[in-house]
Amino acid sequence: MFHLNRRIGAIDKTPAVEVGNNLILAGKLWAIESIDHKKDKVYVIPAIAAKKPVFLGSGGTIHQKISEKMQEVLCSSNSYSYLNDAATLELKGLREIYAQLGVMPDQRVVFSGKNETLIELFAGTVISNTLMWMIRAMGVEQVTTTGLDHIKLAGRQEGILELLESISNRQWNTQELWDITFPYEIYRTKFSFYLSEDQQKELHVSAMVDVDRTVEFLRGKQFILSRC
């Protein structure tokens, strides 16, 4: 990030970095004046407007064991005294859906609706991202992950179970996943500015891609299709 051609710091490349937004860096409030996407440079000026600064951080990643525990909670009837009334009611509603479908902890549900298909993966951030890129590599372009690391596909995806099986039986390499990764999906840190493209790729793959674990997960789970 630059002010009057003087480098004042580094920020992660996210959709929040856009002209007109305010952000805080080095203890000061800055307004983004322009962005040079080719050179990965952001030019700022001291902010005058009272527009709230954007938050450039993220919620972090979710470990696979945490996600699997979420699934176990949904499939159980255990009560938790520390939940307030709103949380207890929300959990009850989610459990009713899973109970009606007879979902077990080693199963995963795919909700197929008219406008979208949702894979409630409960596998953690790395496996979720890896599977998203695998699905995209198989030709499904409109696919994203959600805040809970589930996978959302545009429209009703006929043959989604067959697609997941094909993914689990295919030989993969990280290069083909890297090739279809959007720039804003690349794992970056505040030090990414100093890395070469090859180093950035290595960092991204080591942090966000695990082909073997994803394939193992797919082969070890039974997917249930629910049309809604």
For the chain, what is the largest distance between any 2 Cα atoms, rounded to a whole number of angstroms?
62
- What residues have CB less than 8 Å from 178, skipping those under 6 apart? 201, 204, 205
Name which of 22-26, 57-61, 212-216 the model is least confident about.
Answer: 57-61
Residues 110 and 39 in one domain: no
Asked if residues 30 and 15 have their Cβ atoms less than 8 Å apart, the reply is: no
In a domain, 54, yes or no: no
Residues 34 and 71 in one domain: no
pLDDT band for 101, please (50, 70, 90 cuts): very high
- Sheet containing strand 22-25, strands side by side: 6-7, 2-3, 41-46, 28-36, 22-25
Residues 109 and 16 in one domain: no
Residues 151 and 203 in one domain: yes
- When comparing pLDDT for 197 and 60, which is higher? 197
Give the model confidence (pLDDT) of 155-171 as tens digits.
999 899 999 999 999 99
Give the model confidence (pLDDT) of 179-196 as tens digits.
999 988 998 887 777 889
Q: Please give the tally of structural domains in the chain.
A: 2
Domain of residue 38 covers 2-46
* pLDDT at residue 154, as a whole number: 93
